[in-house]
Amino acid sequence: MRTAPNVIVTGTPGVGKTVHCEQLAQDLGLKHLSVNQVAKDRDCYEEYDEERKSWVVDDDKLLDAIEDEVLQGGYLIDWHACDMFPKSWIDLVVVLRCPQTSVLYDRLSSRGYHEEKLQENLDAEIFGVLLEEARESYDEEIVVELNSEQDSDVEANCARISQWVQSWKEQHAE
């Protein structure tokens, strides 16, 4: 039985997933699991996508690589997708949004995203693709949508998620 919850922090690239996870890990003592980093460190790739200039993660290999750790609980899973994680592993799905696309555009541009990849991510944000994916993959009551456009949003979001984690721990203390 887990003594701490597993939380997915997901959203379009550039919405602040890593910033939120680092802050929450520091505040709550949970472990920040960057799926990008795990995929690199444990060679969980299928291939390199020349068109998108990025690696394609092998979902099965990745899940096998993290299963033993995640089943113990206490992880903040930082990834731009959430539907590959088994429902039984996850206690909360936080979908970060940046509706003001000019803010998101600037963030992605500063990362050097080429125009096609930039536009693909802006479209995903505009159409709420990742929020829809979360709602289709998990029970409605564990999916939370939070705005992440300004620094003050990070503080408010982390406070809200921290309250949720504390509540989860109290409910599962028996």
Measured in whole angstroms, the distance separating CA 25 from the mean position of its chain's CA atoms is: 13
Strand partners of residue 14? none
Asked if 94 and 144 touch (Cβ cutoff 8 Å), the reply is: yes
Asked if 147 and 153 touch (Cβ cutoff 8 Å), the reply is: yes
Q: Which residues are annotated as a binding site for ATP?
A: 14, 16-19, 111
Question: Nearest Cα to 147, choosing from 15, 7, 14?
Answer: 15
Rounded mean pLDDT, 4-9: 98
53 — pLDDT class (breaks 50, 70, 90): confident
Report the C-alpha gap between 147 and 100 in whole angstroms: 10
Q: Which residues are annotated as a binding site?
A: 14, 16-19, 111
Report the C-alpha gap between 134 and 124 in whole angstroms: 13
Q: What is the CATH number of domain 7-158?
A: 3.40.50.300
Give the pLDDT confidence of 84-136 residue by residue, as tens digits. 999 999 999 999 999 999 999 999 999 999 898 899 999 999 999 999 999 99
